[in-house]
Amino acid sequence: MKSRNWVKLFLTTLLVGAISTSIVGFALKWSEYKPLFLNVDVIEILSILLWLIGVGFIFSIISQMGFFAYLTVHRFGLGIFRKLWNPVQLVIIAFVFFDLIYFRYQAFAADRGDSLISYITIALVIFIYCIVIALIKTKMTNKHAFVPALFFMYVISIIEWFPALRVNEASWLYLMIIPLLICNAYQLLILPKIANEKS
C-alpha cells in the first residue's frame, strides 16, 4: 500500500476517533453539560469539545497501534501455526471473554457490591458488536476473514481498553471502549478500499 494511503488511513481514523469520542463524551455527561448549552456558554463548550477531541486523538492512535500490531501478529501466527491459527485465535477469544468477566468481577465487585450480571453484560454486548463487524467483514471479503476479524475486534480492543479497565470508573470505561470499537471497526472495514486506491 502506498504511503499516501497509509497517511489517509491515519488521518481519517484520527477524525473518526475525535468525532466518536466527542459525541460519547457529551452523551455520557449530558446532565452536567446541558446547562452549558441552554446558557449558550460557547467558551466552556468549546474547551470541553477541544479536550474530548484531544482524548479522541489519543484513543485513535491507540487503536491504530493495536491494528498494525495485529497485522504483524497475524502474519507470525499464520507462519507458525498455519492451519491451526484460526483455532488458536478462537481459544484466545474464549480466554479473553472469560477473563474480562471473571478477573474484573474478582477485582472490583467485592468492594463495590456489583452483580456478576453487569460484568457479563458488558463483555457480551462488546462480543456481539464484534461478531456483527466480523460478519460484515466476511461479506466484504470471504469466509476465512471471520475469525481474524473477530479476534482483532474483540481481543485487541480489550487489550487497548486495559488502562480504563484498571481504573474501572464507569464513565471512563464507556468513553474509551466505544471510540476504540468504532475506530477498530473503521480500520478493519476501510483498509481494503484504501489499500486498493491508485491515486
Which among 63, 53, 62, 88 is positioned nearest to 74, based on CA atoms? Answer: 88
pLDDT of residue 2: 74
45 CB neighbour count, 10 Å cutoff: 15
Return the amino acid letter for 64.
Answer: Q
pLDDT of residue 94: 97
> CA 145, CA 160: separation in Å to the nearest integer?
21
**Per-residue confidence in pLDDT tens, the chain, 199 aa:** 678 888 899 999 999 999 999 999 999 999 888 988 888 888 999 999 999 999 999 999 999 999 999 999 999 999 999 899 999 999 999 999 999 998 888 888 766 777 889 899 999 999 999 999 999 999 999 889 999 999 999 999 999 999 998 888 888 999 999 999 999 999 999 988 887 766 5
pLDDT of residue 184: 98
Can you say how many angstroms the Cα of residue 182 is from the centroid of all Cα atoms in its chain?
6
Q: Where do the domains of the chain lie?
A: 3-195
pLDDT of residue 124: 97
> CA 171, CA 159: separation in Å to the nearest integer?
18
pLDDT of residue 93: 97
pLDDT of residue 194: 82
pLDDT of residue 3: 80
Which among 97, 40, 87, 63 is positioned nearest to 191, based on CA atoms? Answer: 63
